[in-house]
Chain A
Amino acid sequence: MNVPSKKRLGPLLLIAPAAILLGVFLVLPYLNIVVMSFRMPGQGTPYGPGFTLGNYGKFFSDFFYVQQVINTLWIGFLTTFLCLILGYPVAWQLARGASAFRAVGYALVLSPLLVGIVIRSYGWTILLGNNGIINRTLTGWGLIDGPLPLMYNALGIIIALVHVFLPFMILPIMSAIQGIDPSLEAAARSLGASKITSFRRITLPLSLPGIQAGCILVFVLSLSAYVTPSLIGGLRVKTMAVTVVDALIDTFQWPFGSALALMLSVTGAIFVVFFGRLTVMKWKA
């Protein structure tokens, strides 16, 4: 490495603290996980001597685990999609709506973040449970015979995750829409475009960076969600985060748990990159 000139030293010094922090607390542990995933499984110890590809072999040879990755990705997709559908109108309203509504709306959007995730998930169990408010009410009105399966399944997990992650979708989209000059839409309207056309041709494409950021955030958060799936899924729905914790903490299979964790992050990363490409292409088209 050549000695950086004075000019280049400034920026380097500025990013040094963050780089060191990331290096020590993210990159090094990550490398440790990669190494761990190739270690031999141990008997009564976290890992044995020597190295192996067996942990990945076990993952790919047993559809039980592949299925879990598929489940987790599927839950992530649905959660992201629902957050987008529900979040976009709210974001638009916050960005373009009357200022009186804006402050209240903003507070409402942020309010789920003010309550701990455990409490929120328990709140959903009270609503969604077989003996919960919804099922009891419907049974009481004679609308259903037995409880609707709202909990202990993917549906309940998705409902709760959408609630938890909605702000992460709304806020980036809101700031993207705020960045669009309203006169662009006015110009489109004056040239005879209908409201729908002007939204389709002007607002939506210009807010794509916000959509992209929101979707990636929600998707990644859904993949790694642990508390909500374990409480609402009642341990019946196997998501990867729950299985990884099982392997690492409960059965002390550190190598296998590391391999599982890496499989999850790699598949997640592939989808994020793919999605990023997709939205950029659309945006340019």
Chain B
Amino acid sequence: MMDLTRRQTLAGMGAFAAAGLFGLPARAQAKTLVVPTLGGVWEQYWRSTVGPAFTKQTGVAVTLDVGNGRVWGANLRAAGAAKPPYSMVMTNEVFASGLRKEGFFEKLDLTKLPNYADLYPLAKKTDGWGAIGAVSPIGIGYRTDLVKTKPKSWKDLWNNPEFKGKIGLYNFANSAGKMELLLFSKIFGKDQYDVDAGFAALQKLGSVIQVDFNMSTGLASGEIVVAPFDFGEIARLRRQGLPVDCIIPEEGMFMFDQTINILANAPEKELAYQYANFLLSPEVQGMMMKEFFISPTNSKVIVPADLKVDVPVSGADMDKILTWDWNFVNEKQGELAERWAKTIK
């Protein structure tokens, strides 16, 4: 902690060289990068594999900060943009875009991110402010043993009586919940902004089972038979022997995206860029694909034939994933959250 302030002060005085001295190998303490990571299987994998691989490649030690976009956002806002606790954040674009607007991040210095050039257009939609490091496309997941008529479209949630009372939805706090609202607004109304239509549709859906982050438990117990699901999660459940499958709905799919952002006043900016480039590299993208069945955003990664079932979306299909106007959601967040709370039963 002391170290950080000292370094920041020195950097502020333009004494980068002097600051560099503190990081010389002669000093017992190696350089450390604080890496925010999701919990559960993500934390385990980061602790066992990704962190050590980065340390091996660069000699930089990694400290994990387990949380989620909302928690990191709260931590950053509590600390302020001038003294952020993190140097980089990889989180859902909905959270990232809010923080970006508040001045926490800097425009990416692409000279330090050679791998950025190989990303799919989908991963570069933030105009050079962030790069998507992981995509988990979201379609409809369902229990093959508890559902007779396989879903084909989002509208089936309303039209198939088998689903009544057993539909899982992410709550509005979750980025997927926000996307549910925008998607249903788009399907039943004029466009994503037509939230009146979206809420009316949600009202019509009747009783649903809302979850914040853990849809799998409900699907495993049979409380939920159908829900928006990311394909990687379905692949994991299927490999655990659960009778589940997923489909790409006719109206389109959305995604859990993980945008990599660099803090403008990062305590360890150089390391953050090194780490960001490491995450975007074909090797790490391939590792994450094998571990979490995410769709790699680096176009150099080819999905092998035996993974096609678990990673159904890749290559040119990547750009078919729907994207949303997060500024609209973030500006109206309080109002939309309240309407959601009053609508969904």
Contacts and interface: CB of A to CB of B under 8 A. Distances in A.
B331 A131 contact: no
Contacts of A45: 77, 102
A205 interface: no
Interface string A120-131: 001001100111
A122 B334 contact: no
B221 A251 contact: no
Nearest to A151: B223
A230 B217 CA distance: 14
A249 interface: yes
B341 A246 contact: yes
Please indicate which of the listed interface residues A132, A235, A246 has the most CB atoms of chain B within 10 Å of its own CB.
Answer: A235
Contacts of B217: 122, 125
Interface in B211-240: 211-212, 217, 221-223
B342 interface: yes
A178 to B, nearest CB: 42
Interface in B146-175: 165-166, 171-173
Interface in A242-264: 243, 246-253, 256
Interface in A135-152: 152
Contacts of B101: 44
A249 B173 contact: yes
B102 A44 contact: yes
Contacts of A183: none
B73 interface: yes
A46 B172 contact: no
A41 interface: yes
Contacts of A57: none
Contacts of B66: none
Contact of A152 (B209, B222, B333, B337): B209
A64 interface: yes
A260 B98 CA distance: 23
A236 B345 contact: yes
Contacts of A256: 334
Contacts of A152: 209
A64 B172 CA distance: 17
Contacts of B209: 152, 234
Contacts of B102: 44-45
A39 interface: no
Given A44-B98, A251-B334, A129 B172 contact: no
A250 B211 CA distance: 14
A132 B165 CA distance: 15
Contacts of A248: 74
Majority SS of interface residues in chain B?
helix
Interface string A80-103: 000000000000000000000000
A82 to B, nearest CB: 25
Interface in A18-48: 41, 43-46
B334 A234 contact: no
Given A44-B98, A230-B212, A236-B210, A64 B71 contact: no
Interface residues of B, number: 31
Contacts of A236: 207, 210, 345
A251 B337 CA distance: 7
B70 interface: yes
A235 B212 CA distance: 8
Interface in B303-345: 330-331, 333-334, 337-338, 341-342, 345
A223 B193 CA distance: 37
A64 B165 contact: no
A271 to B, nearest CB: 25
B70 A249 contact: yes
A236 B71 CA distance: 23
B73 A252 contact: yes
Nearest to A47: B77
Contacts of B221: 125-126, 129, 131-132
B337 A131 contact: no
Given A246-B341, A256-B334, A235 B171 contact: yes
Nearest to A254: B77
Nearest to A238: B341
Interface in B47-86: 70-71, 73-74, 77
Given A44-B98, A125-B217, 18 more contacts: A44-B102, A64-B342, A122-B217, A125-B223, A129-B221, A131-B221, A131-B223, A132-B223, A235-B171, A235-B212, A248-B74, A250-B70, A250-B173, A251-B173, A251-B333, A251-B334, A252-B98, A253-B333
15 contacts: A43-B331, A44-B98, A44-B101, A64-B342, A125-B221, A130-B166, A234-B211, A246-B341, A248-B74, A249-B70, A249-B71, A249-B74, A251-B173, A251-B333, A252-B77
Interface of B: 70-71, 73-74, 77, 98, 101-102, 165-166, 171-173, 207, 209-212, 217, 221-223, 330-331, 333-334, 337-338, 341-342, 345
Interface of A: 41, 43-46, 64, 122, 125-126, 129-132, 152, 230, 234-236, 238, 243, 246-253, 256
